[in-house]
Amino acid sequence: MADAAKISEAYRKRWGIEVFFLHCKTNGFNMEDLNFKNLEKVQLLMALAAVAYVFSLLNGLIKEGVKPIALKNYRDKKARSISLFRLGLTT
């Protein structure tokens, strides 16, 4: 049972990274469309994308503080109808 708890905790920590890469690759910044080959350029772009991602999240948090995001029912829990990233990126 302890192994299951450790795995669950590790996955929870990793989930934020997975969401970041999703937004960078196809669901926000669309970096896959750039098709860079030079490793140094890719590293620089990822660093800039990480900074832009954090600013988008912060902007989303500010916007949510002004006007709370509507919640939707997803299976057995409620979740935001729009992510903080998307809110901060588009407004």
pLDDT digit string, tens, across residues 57-80: 999 999 999 998 888 888 888 888
- DSSP one-letter code for 31: G
Phi/psi at 68 (5° precision): -55, 145
Q: According to the model, what pLDDT value does residue 1 have?
A: 62
Please report which residue ranges of 26-80 form alpha helices under DSSP H.
39-66
Q: Strand, coil or helix: what is 55?
A: helix
Q: Per-residue pLDDT for 38 more than 70?
A: yes
pTM metric for this prediction? 0.70
Instruction: Give 77's strand partners.
Output: 74
Q: Per-residue pLDDT for 6 more than 90?
A: no
Contacts of residue 63, defined as CB under 8 A and 6 or more positions apart, other chains included, come to: 87, 88, 91
